Amino acid sequence: MRLLAALILHLVLAGSYGIQEPTTDIIGGPDLYIDRGSTINLTCVVLFSPEPPAYIFWNHNDAIISYDSPRGGVSVITEKGETTTSFLLIQHARPSDSGRYQCNPSNAQSKSVNVHVLNEFPAAMQHGGQAHHRSSHLYCLIFCVCLLLFST
The CATH code of the domain that includes 73 is 2.60.40.10
Sign of CA dihedral 68, 73, 74, 79: positive
pLDDT single digits (tens) 98-131: 999 999 999 999 999 999 999 876 554 444 444 4
pLDDT at 148: 55
Cα–Cα–Cα angle for 99, 146, 56, nearest 5°? Answer: 40
pLDDT single digits (tens) 15-55: 545 567 899 999 998 999 999 999 999 999 999 999 999 99
Q: Which domain does 84 fall in, by range? A: 2-150
Query: Is omega for the bond preceding 105 within 30 degrees of 0, making it cis?
Result: no
**Domains in the chain, number:** 1
Cα–Cα distance, 136 to 25 (Å, whole number): 14
Q: Is the pLDDT of residue 59 over 70?
A: yes
